[in-house]
Amino acid sequence: MKSMKAARLTEEAEVKDFIDRLLQASPATQTEVMVTEWDSALTRFANNGIHQNVAERDVSVRVRVVKDGKTGVASINQMNEKAAADVLKRAIAIADLQSKGEVVPMPGPAKSRPVEAWSDATAEATPEERADFVATICSKAKRAGLNAFGAYSTGAEQLAIANSLGVYHHHRSTEATINSVVMGESGSGYADRGAIDVRELDKVEIADEVIDKTQRNQNAQPVEAGVYEVVLEEYAVAEMLEFMSYTGFSALAVEEDRSFMRLGERITGDQVTIWDDGLDASGLPTPFDFEGVPKQHVNLIKNGVAAGVVYDMMTATTEGRQSTGHGLPAPNTEGPFAVNLFMQPGSVAKPDLISGIKRGIWVTRFWYVRIVHPKLSIITGMTRDGTFLIENGKVTRPVKDLRFTQSMLEALEGTLAAGKTTKLQIGEFIGASRVPAVHLKAFTFTS
Amino acid sequence: MKDLAEAALNAAQVKGAGYADVRLDEHVQQDIIVKNGQLAAVSDDASEGFGVRVLVDGAWGFAGSARLNKDEIDEVVDRAIRIARASARVRSTPVNLGSPVSSRGSYRTPLERDPFSVPLSEKVDLLLRADAAMGAVKGVGIREGSMEFLRQRKIFASTEGAFIEQELFESGAGIEATATSPDEVQNRSYPNSFGRHQGSGGYEYVTAMQLDRHGQRIGEEAVALLTAPQCPSGVKTLILDASQTALQIHESCGHPTELDRVFGMEAAYAGTSFMTPEKLNHLQYGSPKVTITADALTPTGLGTFGWDDEGVPAQQSFLIKAGLFVGYLTSRETASVLGQQSNGTMRADGWNRIPLIRMTNVNLQPGDSSLDAMIADTKDGVYMETNRSWSIDDKRLNFQFGTQLAYEIVNGKRGRLLKNATYAGITPEFWNSCDAIAGRSEWKVWGLANCGKGQPPQTAHVAHGAAPARFQHVKVGILK
């Protein structure tokens, strides 16, 4: 394993020393320090050429202090002695200026299980390597008479969190992602990939997928709105899961009576099992959360039954239980968040998911999904980059993109089959999901 | 800071950049949240750094760093140049920035009271009073109020001789009451949804909202919505309040007139646009009542500044004139493709991001009607207020929005309160059905501080001047 320096990150020992000195300097009753440092680059392409190409190196030092029952949080993006004094002073000043409030408890020390999420190849990826990767997609698209668009990113990050009760955790990770839309005269396709190790991204494979999808999605004709059997590709399934997590899988959402989760009750079809696991190396693992609590495996929906929700320190304390390691950075009023989602695959090969469908719709991906009714888990959005009509077990033609307005739980109630393979979908802002494609009995398209 | 900027530009030129600019940025943000009668969060965040953008062989490179020192500047310039050379290997056409821009000067947001000089206790006290007003209503389960204050000091310098210093302030606040029942979650917020109403200015912007005077009303409305009838499905006359009109402008006029989207530069992420160049000066986008401008000079707008992040002066330009599509939001690079000059809309959300075309203050000009007159003149309609959900396709044509509150309108009178109201449409059909817009007295600038675009993602703070407006033959009540 090469040094952090190759990835332009500070050595862990130096980060720990910085944190220790900050903790020692704090006059507060309790102090928490979180350091996130990253170096990332992104190459963006449009019309078969690179049009934006960027890189950044940044750090965030976040300090939470508790003093006389009062909390202050401040952050700064410098990691030196002057910055440490400044950020501590500002956090203390905030605590001093307020009256006593609700204090989010800090966790005590607990061992987190290390999990490998680092690749030297990703950390050291060069602009030339990114350009070559993009060139392959662009040249293949051009040869096919199409235009390629997308973004290819590589990055390295380290996260360290410690508190005055003795907690110290450190984790380093890398991430590489590629997404591409390819357009023809009258239609488009989409593909994306994500991995910890950039060498797992196959430029020819992704180019072939997106170009094939584009070529099949030309001259789409409208289809009438209504309720259809559907096959949702992994891109769409992952997005649905992220919205379920956002609206329902948090203990705070349940506590505040906002969630669709009715614990112990059957809420989807019995083929559906969804869990969160921050330690599973086939996802995007992180061994601890942003409060310094080790991650636990949490069953969310098991065989269709609402099995559990995720906790942070505040919600766990309220209910007199342990945090599951799903806290967000302080100050946080949004509650815990499940960010390492998995959906159990089935036994059907993905291409065979359509075999029993008389008339249905194949959805590549969703677009601009928003919540219409959180408690009924209703979302709306559009299909995009490859929507096809299925007739008598075969994809027969592309159709114009459709708007859907659909309860996620009702859709999953009609789960008829799931693909036997899964795909890792890295979230736009945080976390990732590993999901199969699914065949659902009914999905409502409204226009 | 000026020395560092000059050092970066010199290094970039020596190393082969045909054009370079540097932005040094210092950003301070305070956030306060009161929840259910308790001070739940106060945070004070600071960020500083610099970004260098270079053109080499007609291709872009950009690198940024938080480490403000001479050695890092050299390394970052090297990195930006190397990235630009890699871009040049796979570029389509060389970038043309058009005429040089050599603006010089300084700008500071006009304000009466620096929000960072206002004691924390004063801010918290106002939020607690508003919280108490919401809490006085039986059935309100969750109360939340928040404030946000920003100060950004930035320097822009370029190899074309531009040197600009700006100090921008924003202040924002909002409250929200939530009521729940076994099947419903109903929210009411004031003055706008999604956290806050925000503008460029000082603490006076927050005090003018009189948050404490609206807590009880929104609490009562949230509880009443739990038992209100469902918004009926059908095709009806739709009247939008000013804040929802603002979001409608944002999604269906602001975004599709961004010229980078039109050229496919956002195709793989935010999407493209139906407003393609051959439609310019030909597409009847809306009814003759619809005139929309992009105006970076609008007082209190979140898109108000002295110069954009390419050094182009703040200005007003027309996007839609009496219903006709007449203009785009442009950058130097995209405007030159159409043989135009940039109209100054390039903004980055920090030192570590490149500027993108962003809405400034995209304003619907006021009309000659009023909300009361529109209602009085409607036989069968729905009035909708305050956004709850929003979704639109990647070309900005097919949209569906939901609002927190709605009232039926029957024979010119406001009728029953309705819950879970939604409406949907196709952009030009919708705006061409606009037959009334309220006048100047009901026109207000609405700040949106959550506009996402770009990869890596950026969040822009933009605004929309809007008044209540009426639309005919709109599909409403879409809920499975």
Tell me the pLDDT tens digit for each residue of B21-51: 999 999 999 999 999 999 989 999 999 999 9
Residue B448, chain A, CB below 8 Å: the answer is no
Q: Do A77 and B353 touch (CB under 8 A)?
A: no
The minimum CA-CA distance between B59 and chain A, rounded to whole Å, is 7
The minimum CA-CA distance between B440 and chain A, rounded to whole Å, is 32
E-only strand ranges, A270-393: 274-276, 298-302, 305-306, 340-343, 359-373, 378-391
Q: Do A333 and B79 touch (CB under 8 A)?
A: no
β-bridge mates for residue B173, sequence order = B147, B197
CA B446 to chain centre: 8
pLDDT tier for residue A2 given thresholds of 50, 70 and 90:
low
pLDDT tier for residue A3 given thresholds of 50, 70 and 90:
low
Q: Chain A partners of B91 at a C-beta cutoff of 8 Å? A: 49-51
Amino acid at B370: S
Query: CA-CA distance, B412 to B17, in Å (whole number)?
Result: 65
Residue A175 is classified by DSSP as E
B394 closest CB neighbour out of A128, A380, A384:
A384
* Residue A207: predicted pLDDT: 98
CA atoms A292, A293, A296, A301: torsion sign = negative
Closest chain A CA to residue B251: A368
Tell me the pLDDT tens digit for each residue of B393-450: 999 999 999 999 999 999 999 999 999 999 999 999 999 999 999 999 999 999 999 9
Q: Do A257 and B400 touch (CB under 8 A)?
A: no
Question: Could you tell me which of B322, B432, B444, B437 has the C-alpha nearest to residue B373?
Answer: B437
Architecture of domain A4-216: 2-Layer Sandwich (3.30)
Q: Do A97 and B120 touch (CB under 8 A)?
A: yes
Neighbours of B309 (CB within 10 A): 27
Closest chain A CA to residue B90: A49
Q: Chain B partners of A72 at a C-beta cutoff of 8 Å? A: 42, 44
Interface probe with A: pick from B27, B43, B399, most Cβ of A within 10 Å: B43
Residue A112 is classified by DSSP as P
Say whether the peptide bond before residue B191 is cis (omega within 30 degrees of 0). Answer: yes
Cβ–Cβ under 8 Å, residues B157 and B9:
yes
The minimum CA-CA distance between B441 and chain A, rounded to whole Å, is 32
A380 closest CB neighbour out of B47, B87, B400:
B400
A55 closest CB neighbour out of B59, B79, B420:
B79
Residues 306-335 of B with CB under 8 A from A: none
Q: Do B267 and A374 touch (CB under 8 A)?
A: no
Residue B117, chain A, CB below 8 Å: the answer is no
Which residue do the tokens 């979140």 mark?
Answer: B302
Which residue do the tokens 């409305």 mark?
Answer: B221
A135 closest CB neighbour out of B89, B265, B420:
B89
Burial class of residue A331, CB neighbours in 10 A (0-12, 13-18, 19+): buried
Average pLDDT, chain B: 97
Which residue do the tokens 């260098």 mark?
Answer: B52
Residue B119, chain A, CB below 8 Å: the answer is yes
The minimum CA-CA distance between B403 and chain A, rounded to whole Å, is 9
Q: Chain B partners of A101 at a C-beta cutoff of 8 Å? A: 38-40
The minimum CA-CA distance between A182 and chain B, rounded to whole Å, is 8
pLDDT tier for residue A185 given thresholds of 50, 70 and 90:
very high
Tell me the pLDDT tens digit for each residue of B123-165: 999 999 999 999 999 999 999 999 999 999 999 999 999 999 9
- Bridge-based pairing of strands A298-302 and A274-276 is antiparallel
Q: Do B63 and A45 touch (CB under 8 A)?
A: no
**Domain boundary assignment for chain B:** 2-226, 234-476
Q: Do B480 and A332 touch (CB under 8 A)?
A: no
Say whether the ipTM exceeds 0.85.
yes
* Residue A99: predicted pLDDT: 76
Q: Do B185 and A258 touch (CB under 8 A)?
A: yes
CA atoms B330, B331, B336, B342: torsion sign = positive
The minimum CA-CA distance between B124 and chain A, rounded to whole Å, is 8
Cβ–Cβ under 8 Å, residues B214 and B130:
yes
Alpha helices in B36-96 (DSSP H): 70-89
Q: Chain A partners of B184 at a C-beta cutoff of 8 Å? A: 375
Q: Do A43 and B178 touch (CB under 8 A)?
A: no
Closest chain A CA to residue B28: A76
Q: Which residues contact A306 (CB under 8 A, 6 or more apart)?
A: A261, A262, A263, A264, A265, A266, A267, A300
Please say if the pLDDT value at position A330 is more than 70: yes
* Residue B480: predicted pLDDT: 59
A78 closest CB neighbour out of B63, B66, B93:
B66
B90 closest CB neighbour out of A59, A86, A135:
A135
Interface probe with A: pick from B42, B356, B426, most Cβ of A within 10 Å: B42
Tell me the pLDDT tens digit for each residue of A292-323: 999 999 999 999 999 999 999 999 999 999 99
For the segment B354-370, the average pLDDT, to the nearest whole number, is 98
Q: Do A258 and B180 touch (CB under 8 A)?
A: yes
Q: Do B456 and A40 touch (CB under 8 A)?
A: yes
Query: CA-CA distance, B145 to B191, in Å (whole number)?
Result: 11
* Residue A102: predicted pLDDT: 77
B267 closest CB neighbour out of A49, A50, A183:
A183
* Residue A326: predicted pLDDT: 98
Interface probe with A: pick from B24, B71, B81, B87, most Cβ of A within 10 Å: B87
Residues 346-385 of B with CB under 8 A from A: 352-354
**Domain boundary assignment for chain A:** 4-216, 226-445
CA B314 to chain centre: 16
If phi > 0 it is left, if psi is from -120 to 50 it is alpha, else beta; for residue A48 that is left
Tokens of A319: 């209910």
CA A380 to chain centre: 20
Q: Chain A partners of B33 at a C-beta cutoff of 8 Å? A: 331, 333
Tell me the pLDDT tens digit for each residue of B165-190: 999 999 999 999 999 999 999 999 99
The topology (CATH level 3) of B2-226 is PmbA/TldD fold (3.30.2290)
Q: Chain B partners of A38 at a C-beta cutoff of 8 Å? A: none
β-bridge mates for residue B321, sequence order = B324
For the segment B207-222, the average pLDDT, to the nearest whole number, is 98
Q: Do B92 and A49 touch (CB under 8 A)?
A: yes
Tell me the pLDDT tens digit for each residue of B298-347: 999 999 999 999 999 999 999 999 999 999 999 999 999 999 999 999 99
The minimum CA-CA distance between A318 and chain B, rounded to whole Å, is 15
For the segment A126-138, the average pLDDT, to the nearest whole number, is 98
pLDDT tier for residue A1 given thresholds of 50, 70 and 90:
very low
